[in-house]
Structure 1
Amino acid sequence: MTDLEFMDLAERLLRAVEAGCDALNDETDADIDNQRTGGMVTLTFPNRSQIVINLQRPLHEVWMAAKSGGYHYRHVEGTWRDTKGGDEFFAALSRAASEQSGLDLQFHP
């Protein structure tokens, strides 16, 4: 994968996270504050817990830090997969956001 391909795919992922926050805020009582700074999106929940998603350009990875731990994702066969456990990014984000918010929150690519 070239740097340009990585940035295109990673940008789509970050935009999907931002759009997911907006949709969840419209459809639920989640009240997620999402702030983007360059290649990093920080989701802050009403209880002040956070999930941070940031791009690691040299490694062609997306990293996510949540209360449950830190995770590294690479784009493999059309989807972002955890480099250790193989979990899909949006499933893991949904799980972490649900745990931290106390609501059933679903993010989608």
Structure 2
Amino acid sequence: MSSEGISERDFERAADDTLRLLERALDGVDGLEVDLQMGVLTVEFGDGTKYVINSHRAARQIWMAAERTAWHFDPREGGARWQASKDGAELWTTVEGVLSRKLGSPVELPR
């Protein structure tokens, strides 16, 4: 399902649920401070670097900024999955990849 095919209410629920699930999954990763406030999930590392994952309601996407790169994820399957239209990357896999590179060891998040 494209972002145009999901209602605003369904988008908000799916995005909020996804951000809360990510917050819980990231909370278990050593070396991170995680904070979710008003649709913005901030991941901070010991060196002060911050990655941000947020709900962008106007675009009906989840946006992520990390490693000097930005991703825009569209809801698929009613918001059960989030996929970047630019390159097909999946949200959770992308988060695991950027965290693994930053932390220097593989990160697998529970889903």
Q: How does 1:9-28 map to 2 (within 5 A)?
A: 9-24=14-29
Kindly report the root-mean-square deviation, in angstroms, between the aligned alpha carbons of the 2 structures. 1.3
Give the Cα–Cα distance (whole angstroms) in 2 for the partners of residues 45 and 98 of structure 1. 12
Unaligned 5+ runs, structure 2: 1-5
Partner amino acid, structure 2, of 1:31: G
Q: How does 1:69-84 map to 2 (within 5 A)?
A: 69-77=69-77, 78-84=80-86
The normalised TM-score by structure 2 is 0.86
The normalised TM-score by structure 1 is 0.87
Q: Is the 8 A contact 1:49 1:100 kept in 2?
A: no
Unaligned 5+ runs, structure 1: 25-29
Once the two structures are superposed, residues 14-67 of structure 1 have per-residue CA deviations (whole angstroms, 9 ceiling, x without a partner) of 01111111222xxxxx22101122010100011222210011101110000001
Determine what percentage of the aligned residue pairs are the same residue. Answer: 24
Q: How does 1:82-97 map to 2 (within 5 A)?
A: 82-97=84-99
Q: Count residues with an aligned counterpart.
A: 104
Using a 3 Å threshold, how does the CA distance of structure 1 residues 75 and 108 change in structure 2: closer, same or farther? farther
Give the Cα–Cα distance (whole angstroms) in 2 for the partners of residues 44 and 102 of structure 1. 15
Partner of 2:71: helix, strand, or coil?
A: strand
